[in-house]
Amino acid sequence: MEYAEYVENGHRIMRNGKKIGWVEGRFMMKTTYDEIEKLMPNVAANIERKLRKVLDE
C-alpha cells in the first residue's frame, strides 16, 4: 500500500542521486473509478425500482 500512489501516478527513477528516468503511471484506480461511474446510473435506477416495489407492498 505504501507504493500505490507511485504505481498509480508514476515515479522518477534515481541512481546515485541523479534522475535517470520516469516510470509512467498505470492509472488503475482512475480507470476503475471511471468504469464504476459509468455503471452508477443503472445501479441507482435498479435500487430505486426495487425499493419502490418493497415500499408498495
How does pLDDT run across 4-37, given as a tens digit for each residue? 999 999 999 999 999 999 999 999 999 999 999 9
Entry pTM: 0.60
The pairing of beta strand 18-24 with beta strand 10-15: antiparallel
Q: What pLDDT is recorded for position 1?
A: 81
What's the grid cell of residue 55? 415500499
Q: What is the pLDDT of residue 33?
A: 95
The Cα–Cα gap between 52 and 46 comes to: 10
